[in-house]
């Protein structure tokens, strides 16, 4: 049976967080404002605590005046940042406290930084068409490698084979995965999960094609190219990347984004700044989401060979 077929039969497969559904509904309504967002956040004590801790962190609390209300936190951090934190932590919660091999902090540092960098690249492109896709871009960045978690948590034998191939052949994770599971790589599995979650098509297509942008439908290729460029920047900048670096990127990415390879250094610096903000979020949120380092059940896992 294929991994895709087995994926659909998993009873404990993480579901789309309820609060994320509410947040999406709020964003798409005419009532989307700071007060309504604060009311929604207050329904989740753990998320409320994370928002407050973030607002009172050294990064945001420049005046060193502590606050204790969600509404003040939204004012200090900004509506968009609070929205991103809410979405990010609600997704992370679905994968906490479950068996896995890869390090959660590193994985989510990469994913959260990617989520922010996608919108930064969209801003650099200054393309009016992309304005309506900002939320999709953020979610695509956040979830682009979610297939790796699915592989590790639910198909650990296959995941172990990939890692051991990587070690034996002294190659990258991407090459090892394509050699051992070319038709059901992490991008494909991630896209399948998002289909089950019934997320928007641009998000699904971006996740499924973030290593192969030419395969995306032409009308969505611009969004996919942004996610592909984000992955290229972060992997080569070693920002929490599990996959390692890779030298080449589809030439169409440069053409579509109208960003020159010479500008990558600037994007590296921007990514590094976003990674700093991500560290604050992971530090403040970890204690409330049952630890970002999940419980390991080694007796059910085939051990990985040491690197």
Q: Give the global pTM.
A: 0.86
Lowest-confidence segment of 74-83, 139-148, 251-260 by average pLDDT = 74-83
For the segment 8-25, what is each residue's pLDDT rounded down to a tens digit? 888 888 887 777 778 777
Given this model, what pLDDT does residue 98 score?
63
**For residues 202-207, average pLDDT:** 96
Highest mean pLDDT among 11-25, 79-93, 132-146: 132-146
> Does the pLDDT value for residue 299 go beyond 90?
no
Given this model, what pLDDT does residue 97 score?
59
**For residues 265-285, average pLDDT:** 82
Instruction: Indicate the length of the chain as a whole number.
Output: 307
Q: Are 86 and 50 in contact (CB under 8 A)?
A: no
For the segment 206-240, what is each residue's pLDDT rounded down to a tens digit? 999 999 999 999 999 999 999 999 999 998 887 76
Given this model, what pLDDT does residue 286 score?
53
Angstrom distance (rounded) from CA 260 to CA 264: 7
Q: How is domain 100-279 classified at the CATH fold level?
A: Hypothetical protein af1432 (1.10.3210)
Q: Are 237 and 109 in contact (CB under 8 A)?
A: no
> Does the pLDDT value for residue 7 go beyond 80?
yes
Domain with CATH 1.10.3210.10 in the chain: 100-279
**For residues 165-188, average pLDDT:** 90
Gyration radius of the chain's alpha carbons: 19
Give the pair of three-digit tokens for residue 135: 């939320």
Lowest-confidence segment of 52-56, 127-131, 148-152, 300-304 by average pLDDT = 300-304
Return mean pLDDT, the chain: 84
Written in H, E and C, the secondary structure of the chain is CCHHHHHHHCCCCCCCCHHHHHHHHHHCCCCCCHHHHHHHHCCCHHHHHHHHHHHCCCCCCCCCCCCCCHHHHHHHHCHHHHHHHHHHHHHHHHCCCCCCCCCHHHHHHHHHHHHHHHHHHHHHHCCHHHHHHHHHHHHHHHHCCHHHHHHHHHCHHHHHHHHHHHHHHCCCHHHHHHHHCCCCCHHHHHHHHHHHCCCCHHHHHHHHCCCCHHHCCHHHHHHHHHHHHHHHHHHHHCCCCCCCCCCCCCHHHHHHHCCCHHHHHHHHHHHHHHHHHHHHHHHHHHHHCCCCCCCCCHHHCCCCCCC
Confidence of residue 135 (pLDDT cuts 50, 70, 90): confident
């Amino acid at each position: 049976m294929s991994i895709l077929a087995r994926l659909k039969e998993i009873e404990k497969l993480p579901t789309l967080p309820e609060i994320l559904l509410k947040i999406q509904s709020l964003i798409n309504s005419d009532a989307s404002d700071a007060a309504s967002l604060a009311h929604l956040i207050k329904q989740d004590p753990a998320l409320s605590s994370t928002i407050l801790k973030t607002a009172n962190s050294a990064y945001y609390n420049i005046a060193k005046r502590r606050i204790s209300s969600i509404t003040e936190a939204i004012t200090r951090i900004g509506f968009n940042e609070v929205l991103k934190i809410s979405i990010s932590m609600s997704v992370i919660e679905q994968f906490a406290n479950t068996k896995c091999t890869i390090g959660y902090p590193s994985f989510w540092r990469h994913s959260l930084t990617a989520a922010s960098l996608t919108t930064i690249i969209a801003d650099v492109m200054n393309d009016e068409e992309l304005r309506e896709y900002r939320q999709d871009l953020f979610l695509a960045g956040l979830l682009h490698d979610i297939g790796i978690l699915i592989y590790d948590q639910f198909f650990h034998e296959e995941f172990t084979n990939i890692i051991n191939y990587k070690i034996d052949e002294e190659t990258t994770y991407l090459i090892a995965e394509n050699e051992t599971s070319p038709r059901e790589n992490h991008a494909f599995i991630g896209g399948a999960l998002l289909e089950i979650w019934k997320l928007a098509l641009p998000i699904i297509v971006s996740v499924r094609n973030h290593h192969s942008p030419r395969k995306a439908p032409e009308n969505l290729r611009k969004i996919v190219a942004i996610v592909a460029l984000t992955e290229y920047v972060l992997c080569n900048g070693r920002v929490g990347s599990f996959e390692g670096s890779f030298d080449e990127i589809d030439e169409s990415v440069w053409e579509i984004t109208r960003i020159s390879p010479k500008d990558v250094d600037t994007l590296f610096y921007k990514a590094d700044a976003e990674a700093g903000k991500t560290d604050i979020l992971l530090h403040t949120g970890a204690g409330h989401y049952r630890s970002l380092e999940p419980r390991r059940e080694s007796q059910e896992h085939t051990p990985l060979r040491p690197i």
